[in-house]
């Protein structure tokens, strides 16, 4: 997650979003909604709402989750299989909304 590995055309909805990026899904935890091999489009500027798919960046890795809400310590995320985790804001570099996907 530290440097781009390739370029792809962004969807028209992201044409003017400077920080938009895409990432491949490598973990099947959220299948069948986001199967392995899907290309997800991320807009870091969009606000998060419960039920949104998000990309959680942590140092040099990232995971995809479902945003469940906020609590006093940070956010509540579902990483698949109903495994909800409370994550303190300091544990992640960024939590960005997934706004689209191309499926394999």
pLDDT (mean) for 20-41 = 92
Decide: 84 and 68 in contact? Cβ < 8 Å. Answer: yes
Average pLDDT over residues 16-45: 92
* Predicted local confidence at residue 2, as pLDDT: 58
With 0-12 / 13-18 / 19 or more C-beta atoms within 10 angstroms meaning exposed / middle / buried, residue 18 is exposed
Residue 58's DSSP bridge partners are: 61
Structure confidence at residue 3 (pLDDT): 67
SS3 84: strand
> Does 25 have pLDDT greater than 70?
yes
Q: Mean pLDDT across the stretch 67-94?
A: 86
């Amino acid at each position: 997650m530290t440097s781009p590995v390739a370029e792809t055309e962004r969807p028209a909805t992201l044409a003017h979003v400077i920080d938009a990026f895409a990432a491949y899904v490598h973990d099947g935890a959220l299948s069948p909604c986001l199967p392995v091999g899907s290309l997800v489009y991320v807009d870091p500027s969009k606000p998060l709402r419960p039920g949104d798919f998000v990309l959680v960046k942590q140092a040099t890795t990232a995971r995809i989750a479902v945003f469940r809400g906020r609590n006093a310590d940070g956010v509540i995320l579902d990483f698949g299989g109903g495994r909800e985790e409370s994550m303190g804001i300091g544990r992640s570099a960024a939590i960005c909304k997934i706004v689209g996907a191309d499926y394999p």
